[in-house]
């Protein structure tokens, strides 16, 4: 008897599961806010050189309003670019000249042009307080905010590996507790950063902890429900991730200080500390570690809360027939690639996840300027993300995991090609939006897909490895957009090509819809198109078992 059979008897999606899933959907919401907060805390508002000698002067004698006076001062002191905008990094040398004298020469074409030697003035009409303004990360320092975001994504990469491995060693529950606590504490400390170096380091640690926590949310939810309900648990969490768009946008709109914003979005993680006593360890993981007594206590708790009767012979059959002791001994990182079939599965999944991060963030950054208010635009982006989650449920239930992911990645690739030939304006925006919706939907599917293919002792670390690939894609995407300065169409061609290749490569994987979660490596390999293991794979797997048994 498998653990999925036991879940069916004691309630595969009852009160207990609803309680756990409700609690573990909070961290993904907070993770979205922390990830995308860079849009507001490092917003690139307009700025120009400060001319301190004119700051206290007004224009009352010329009957100008304050706004007209400000523009007039810029006209006299700031050069214009070829596109009609004010220069952000240079000014005319008006040293020793008062405003009245400059007014007498208001028709001048400007004197000597110098760099901003007195600092900058910032337009606060959109962003009231940013790290760019506080630490003057402009002009020759303008690349620093982008570097900070790259470091943040590198934190995701580290968190994917560290927390995945940790969860397979000490359990899902303790890893989740550690991640929530670290995310909340370091998130709060980030709001107190005295300089940009400390800020960057704290953002890195927060990124690793917050993403590791979200991975645990996904694994915990997947391991306590029956196969037919897993499609909902994974997608519901990413729906809450999309709700984070609105939480962040609303908080940023009413918060005038970036430090307060950073502190507020860390609060949900600290609030999760109160929920720790209501969470339990994954009984599936306990069984895979030969901790039958602890697993039995939790199984009885699930049955009790779901108001189901647990038959005593069920636990006996589970202990005798599930083969979990073997997976506990053979569940090592190397086993992801030691068996040929597993190796091909990991190649396909890692490339698919890379494409998700690569194309998703590429399209997001490439189409972010919609010509409307930044807060409204941010909410619209959240609406598209939210719609993708509903679409992913429909496609997975209708077409299964394999064909849904494949067709959506192909559609995203075709849309990227369409962005190359579509004229600027509404047509290109519409085509790019379709591409983003398609890739966001397939992102949901590959999360669920990976969790259903990987065996229990390798599930957390395997999803972590796949997530590393996605994080690399996210890091590469903004760098690739710089190629647009050479050829406007080149980034979209590369997005399209990689997505189409991924759409075909994912067909290597077996279908997993309504299939029980594999609890051993052999379970995963046996799924290969519903065929038996090849003789060479049997020998390889037997060798893994023999090697591990001799070391125990």
Q: Do 141 and 42 meet the contact criterion of CB atoms below 8 Å apart?
A: no
| pLDDT value of position 371 | 47
Crossing angle of helices 426-453 and 456-481, in 10° steps, is 160
Shared fold status for 1-44+126-324 and 331-552: yes
Q: Which residues contact 441 (CB under 8 A, 6 or more apart)?
A: 388, 389, 391, 392, 395, 404, 408
Q: What is the pLDDT of residue 283?
A: 85
110: left (phi over 0), alpha (psi -120 to 50) or beta: left
Helix, coil or strand: residue 552: coil
Q: Which CATH architecture has domain 1-44+126-324?
A: Up-down Bundle (1.20)
From first to last of the 552 residues of the chain, give the pLDDT tens digit: 567 777 777 777 788 888 888 888 889 899 989 988 888 887 766 777 887 777 777 777 777 777 777 777 777 777 777 666 777 788 777 776 777 776 666 555 556 777 887 777 787 777 778 888 888 888 878 778 878 888 888 888 888 778 878 887 888 888 999 999 999 999 999 999 999 999 999 999 999 999 889 888 888 888 888 777 776 776 777 788 888 888 988 888 888 789 999 999 999 999 998 888 888 888 888 887 778 778 888 888 888 888 887 776 666 666 544 444 333 444 566 777 777 888 888 899 999 999 988 888 777 665 444 445 677 767 777 888 888 888 888 888 888 888 999 999 999 999 888 877 877 666 777 787 788 889 989 988 887 888 888 887 777 778 778 878 888 887 887 677 666 656 777 888 888 999 999 999 999 888 888 777 787 777 777 776 444 444 455 455 455 444 444 433
Say which residue the tokens 């709109």 belong to. Answer: 253
Looking at residue 500, what is its pLDDT? 94
pLDDT score of 319: 57
Contact residues for 154 (Cβ-Cβ < 8 A; gap 6+): 204, 207, 471, 475
Contact between 74 and 92 under an 8 Å Cβ cutoff? The reply is no
**Cα-based distances in Å from 140 to 89, 137, 233, 429, 483:** 9, 8, 46, 32, 21
The ranges assigned to domains in the chain are: 1-44+126-324, 331-552
How many CB atoms within 10 Å of residue 383?
A: 12
Q: Give the side-chain half-sphere CA count within 13 A for 89.
A: 7
What is the DSSP secondary-structure string of 248-293?
HHHHHHH---HHHHHHHHHHHHHHGGGGGGG----HHHHHHTT-HH
Q: State the sign of the Cα–Cα–Cα–Cα dihedral 335, 552, 4, 11.
A: negative
Q: How far apart are CA 327 and CA 459, in angstroms?
A: 11
| Residue 47: φ, ψ to 5° | -150, 160
331-552 belongs to CATH 1.20.1250.20: yes
What pLDDT, on the 0 to 100 scale, is given for residue 552?
35
């Amino acid at each position: 008897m498998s653990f999925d059979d036991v879940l069916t008897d004691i309630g595969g999606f009852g009160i207990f599961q609803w309680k756990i899933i409700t609690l573990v959907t909070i961290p993904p919401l907070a993770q979205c806010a922390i990830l995308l907060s860079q849009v507001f805390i490092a917003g690139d508002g307009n700025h120009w050189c400060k001319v301190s000698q004119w700051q206290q002067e007004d224009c009352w004698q010329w009957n100008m309003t304050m706004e007209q006076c400000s523009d007039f001062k810029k006209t006299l002191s700031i050069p214009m670019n070829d596109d009609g905008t004010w220069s952000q990094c240079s000014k005319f040398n008006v040293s020793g000249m008062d405003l009245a004298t400059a007014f007498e020469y208001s028709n001048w074409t400007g004197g000597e042009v110098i760099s901003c030697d007195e600092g900058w003035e910032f337009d606060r009409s959109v962003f009231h307080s940013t790290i760019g303004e506080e630490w003057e990360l402009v002009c020759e320092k303008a690349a620093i905010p982008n570097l900070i975001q790259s470091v943040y994504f590198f934190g995701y990469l580290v968190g994917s590996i560290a927390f995945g491995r940790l969860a397979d060693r000490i359990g899902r529950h303790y890893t989740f507790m550690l991640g929530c606590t670290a995310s909340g504490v370091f998130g709060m400390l980030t709001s107190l950063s005295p300089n940009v170096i400390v800020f960057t380091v704290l953002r890195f640690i927060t990124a690793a902890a917050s993403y590791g926590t979200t991975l645990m949310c996904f694994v915990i939810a997947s391991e306590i429900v029956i196969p037919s309900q897993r499609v909902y648990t994974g997608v519901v969490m990413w729906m809450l991730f999309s709700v984070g768009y609105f939480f962040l946008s609303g908080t940023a709109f009413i918060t005038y200080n970036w430090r307060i914003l950073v502190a507020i979005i860390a609060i949900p993680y600290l609030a999760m500390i109160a929920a720790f006593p209501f969470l339990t360890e994954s009984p599936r993981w306990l069984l895979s570690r030969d901790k039958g007594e602890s697993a039995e206590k939790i199984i009885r708790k699930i049955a009790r809360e779901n108001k189901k009767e647990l038959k005593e012979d069920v636990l006996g059959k589970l202990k005798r027939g599930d083969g979990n002791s073997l997976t506990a001994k053979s569940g090592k990182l190397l086993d992801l690639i030691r068996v040929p079939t597993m190796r091909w599965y990991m190649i396909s999944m890692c490339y698919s996840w890379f494409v998700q991060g690569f194309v998703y963030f590429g399209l997001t950054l490439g189409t972010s300027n919609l010509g409307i208010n930044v807060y409204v635009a941010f909410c619209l982006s959240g609406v598209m993300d939210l719609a993708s989650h509903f679409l992913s449920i429909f496609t997975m239930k209708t077409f299964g995991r394999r064909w849904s992911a494949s067709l959506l990645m192909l559609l995203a690739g075709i849309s990227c090609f369409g962005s190359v030939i579509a004229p600027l304006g509404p047509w290109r925006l519409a085509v790019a939006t379709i591409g983003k919706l398609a890739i966001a939907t397939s992102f949901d599917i590959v999360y669920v897909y990976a969790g259903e293919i990987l065996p229990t002792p390798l599930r957390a670390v395997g999803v972590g490895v796949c997530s590393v690939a996605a994080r690399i894609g996210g890091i590469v995407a903004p760098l690739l957009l710089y190629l647009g300065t050479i050829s406007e169409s080149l980034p979209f061609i590369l997005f399209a090509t990689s997505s189409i290749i991924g759409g075909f490569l994912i067909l290597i994987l077996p279908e997993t819809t309504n299939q029980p979660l594999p609890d051993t490596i052999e379970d995963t390999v046996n799924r290969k198109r519903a065929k038996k293991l090849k003789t060479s794979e049997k020998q390889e797997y037997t060798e893994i078992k023999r090697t591990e048994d001799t070391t125990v």
